[in-house]
Every structure is written in structure tokens, then in C-alpha cells.
């Protein structure tokens, strides 16, 4: 569900290797985007991807641990039919500048606004995954007059009302089958021998395509071409967490589309017996309490809200259920004035 295990996954990724990045064999990003850098404050530049297209501008924001390259395949399909698509890599990640400060929710939202200004985008739709719901909400709260709409891609979890901080909730989590709690296997040496091998591992693990460019943007490359260290420090993730604010949608005056993934943290897992099934059902019921609270809060927005549940979708809804998300976003964009 939403961001509950995102930080844990990032933390485990950081332990993959401690080798420093160096370029080896040349690699070409197959995604059809241009790349530019926008200065948002002195000494801080953000990577901006432009997939082209015609029509209303749509700006994509990645979740924690990712860069704009996570949208490579998805953005190409979205730009091909209805809009001009951009993606922003927030500070501290990938090719954007990694400053020591500026990771509170307000500053991160201001960074996005600076990019919108620099690109001279008129009435864009801003769509964000997971953690970027923080930036979406601040932008909608303060600048609804600048936007045409917001799209939350499994991005409505309130960091101040988060199940991971509940001892009772985590007790239910600890009763889940070990395979579910592990959320998939860790890569071994053969999976890390190259970025292509790492990509193939991610596809096997997730059950859907995962852009190799995203892996290359977030991990260093060792001299022998193998996958090196995760290149965003733990302190940056911690600073983002400390700077997060309670969700308040009540002053957002633009239409919202909100897509929710499966309640279960591992929706593909099949329980082996009645005990496992009962543990999963109890955990999912506890999760649903939080999700329903998020939805009720979201409905306070003044511009209208469409909520779409995707019961067999991964947290990366735009990858696991690409066709569903494309359909909903196209319809949402077509309905905007």
C-alpha cells in the first residue's frame, strides 16, 4: 500500500555496494526524450525530461528513491495521444544537484513551481507517484490558479497518519508470511553484474517492465560495468521525512484524479493455508482503515475528485497497470476546460 515499504526498499538498495561510480561501456537511453537542467536556486539544478507531444502540458513527479526516468515508457505512450509530457527529477536524486538542504515539503514544491515558470507552462496538469503527493498537495493548496488539475498515482498516504508508525499495525505485519514481509528476493551477484541483468531481475521481481534508465540514474556504475552504490544518501531521505506535512486538500480548487493500488503489500502471493489467509485478511483490513481515511480527507478538495481503485495493481500503478492509468488520465485530461 502506498509508501509504507518504500523507504525500507530504498534502504536495502543502498547496501548493494559501496564502490564509487565510474563510466564504463557507453549506453544509450532508448527513451525518446530530451534532457535539460533548470536552476531553481543558486547552485541547484533539476533534471527535466521532455517527451514532447501536443496539447496540454503534463508534468510527472517521481516517488521517493526514483527519478523522472521511472516514467520513460509510460510517458512516451501518454505523450503520443493527448498532451505534452515533462518529468522532473527532484533535488537529491539522479542527475539533479544533491545539496545539503532544501528537502522540506515547501521547498520541494517551490522547486516544481520554479520549473513550471522556467518552461512557461500554462495551466499544466501535475501528476505524481507516491511521495510526490506531498508536492502535489502543496502546489494545489497554494497555486490552484496556476494549474488545470492534479493526478495522484497511489500518492495520498499522509506522512503524519502513517501505519508504519503504529505498533499494532506492525504487529499484524509481522504475522504475515515471510515471503510477503520480504517483499521479494534481494539481487545476488549475478543480478548485479550489469545494469541489464539488474533490469531483468527487477522485471522478474515485480512482474512488469522497469526502465533500465531509472536504475542507471539511481545507482553508480563500477569500473567493470557492474551495479554500484545507490547514489542518494540516507540523510536526504530522512530530511524529506522530517519535512513532510499533514495532508490538507481543503483549499485545492482544481479537479483531482486519484488512483489507488491493491490494499495488499503483495497482491500476487497465494496463502498456503487458512492461518496465512487469516493473517493476510486481518492485515489488509487494518490497511483499509488508513486508506479509507486518506480517501475521506481527499474528498475535501473543492475542485472535484475522481477516485479509482485498481485492486490488482502494484504501488507502481503506472507500470503494473499502464493501460488502466493511461485510460484514466486521457479521460481526465479530455474533461478539463
d(CA 204, CA 208): 8
* Ranges assigned E (strand) in the chain: 34-41, 44-52, 56-61, 83-89, 125-129, 149-153, 219-221, 227-230, 256-260, 305-309
Tell me the CATH number of domain 6-335, given options 1.10.760.10, 3.40.50.1820, 3.30.1390.10, 3.30.2350.10. Answer: 3.40.50.1820
Calculate the alpha carbon distances from 233 to 3, 98, 186, 212 in Å.
18, 9, 20, 21
| Cell reading at 222 | 563500477
Q: Which of helix, strand or coil describes residue 133?
A: helix
Residue 179 confidence (pLDDT): 87
Calculate the alpha carbon distances from 199 to 31, 71, 100, 202, 209 in Å.
15, 15, 30, 5, 8
Give the DSSP letter of residue 193: S
d(CA 217, CA 180): 28
d(CA 224, CA 25): 9
Residue 23 confidence (pLDDT): 43
| Cell reading at 52 | 514532447
User: CB-based contacts of 246: which residues, under 8 Å, 6+ apart?
Assistant: 158, 159, 160, 161
β-strands 83-89, 56-61 pairing: parallel
Domain ranges of the chain: 6-335
Kindly state the helix (H) or strand (E) to which residue 155 belongs, with its residue range: none
Tell whether the torsion through CA atoms of 138, 87, 201 and 328 is positive or negative: positive
d(CA 253, CA 144): 6
Give, for all 337 residues of the chain, the pLDDT tens digit.
444 434 333 433 433 333 333 444 588 899 999 999 999 999 999 999 999 999 999 999 999 999 999 999 999 999 987 899 999 999 999 999 999 999 999 999 999 999 999 999 999 999 999 999 999 999 999 999 999 999 999 999 999 998 989 999 999 999 999 988 886 678 999 999 999 999 999 999 888 999 999 999 999 999 999 999 999 999 999 999 999 999 999 999 999 999 999 988 888 889 999 999 999 999 999 999 999 999 999 999 999 999 999 989 999 999 999 999 999 999 999 999 7
Residue 26 confidence (pLDDT): 82
| Cell reading at 180 | 510477503
**Cα–Cα nearest to 295, from 152, 189, 188:** 152
Calculate the alpha carbon distances from 250 to 140, 253, 337 in Å.
10, 8, 21
Burial zone of 28 (CB within 10 Å; 0-12 exposed, 13-18 middle, 19+ buried): exposed
Amino acid at each position: 500500500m502506498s509508501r509504507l515499504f518504500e523507504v525500507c526498499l530504498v534502504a536495502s538498495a543502498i547496501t548493494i555496494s559501496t564502490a564509487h561510480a565510474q563510466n564504463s561501456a557507453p549506453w544509450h537511453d532508448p527513451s525518446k526524450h530530451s534532457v535539460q537542467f533548470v536552476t531553481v536556486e543558486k547552485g541547484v539544478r533539476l533534471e527535466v525530461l521532455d517527451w514532447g507531444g501536443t496539447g496540454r502540458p503534463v508534468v510527472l513527479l517521481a516517488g521517493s528513491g526514483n527519478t523522472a526516468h521511472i516514467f520513460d515508457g509510460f510517458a512516451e505512450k501518454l505523450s503520443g495521444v493527448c498532451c505534452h509530457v515533462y518529468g522532473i527529477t527532484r533535488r537529491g536524486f539522479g542527475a539533479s544537484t544533491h545539496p545539503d538542504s532544501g528537502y522540506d515539503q515547501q521547498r520541494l514544491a517551490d522547486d516544481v513551481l520554479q520549473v513550471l515558470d522556467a518552461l512557461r507552462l500554462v495551466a499544466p496538469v501535475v501528476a505524481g507517484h507516491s511521495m510526490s503527493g506531498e508536492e502535489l498537495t502543496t502546489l494545489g493548496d497554494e497555486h490552484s490558479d496556476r494549474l488545470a488539475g492534479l493526478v495522484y498515482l497511489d500518492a495520498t498516504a499522509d506522512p503524519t497518519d502513517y501505519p508504519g508508525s503504529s505498533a499494532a499495525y506492525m504487529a499484524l505485519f509481522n504475522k504475515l508470511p515471510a515471503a510477503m514481509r520480504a517483499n521479494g528476493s534481494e539481487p545476488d551477484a549475478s543480478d548485479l553484474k550489469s545494469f541489464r541483468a539488474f533490469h531483468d531481475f527487477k522485471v522478474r521481481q515485480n512482474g512488469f517492465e522497469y526502465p533500465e534508465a531509472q536504475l542507471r540514474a539511481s545507482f553508480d556504475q563500477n569500473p567493470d560495468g557492474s551495479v554500484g552504490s545507490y547514489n542518494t544518501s540516507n540523510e536526504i531521505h530522512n530530511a524529506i521525512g522530517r519535512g513532510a506535512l499533514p495532508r490538507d486538500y481543503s483549499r485545492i480548487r482544481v479537479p483531482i484524479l486519484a488512483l489507488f493500488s491493491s490494499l495488499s503489500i503483495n497482491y500476487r502471493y497465494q496463502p498456503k493455508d487458512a492461518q496465512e489467509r487469516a493473517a493476510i485478511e486481518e492485515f489488509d483490513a487494518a490497511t483499509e482503515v488508513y486508506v479509507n481515511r486518506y480517501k475521506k480527507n481527499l474528498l475535501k478538495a473543492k475542485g472535484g475528485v475522481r477516485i479509482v481503485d485498481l485492486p490488482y495493481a502494484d504501488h507502481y500503478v503506472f507500470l503494473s497497470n499502464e493501460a488502466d492509468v493511461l485510460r484514466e488520465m486521457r479521460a481526465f485530461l479530455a474533461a478539463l476546460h
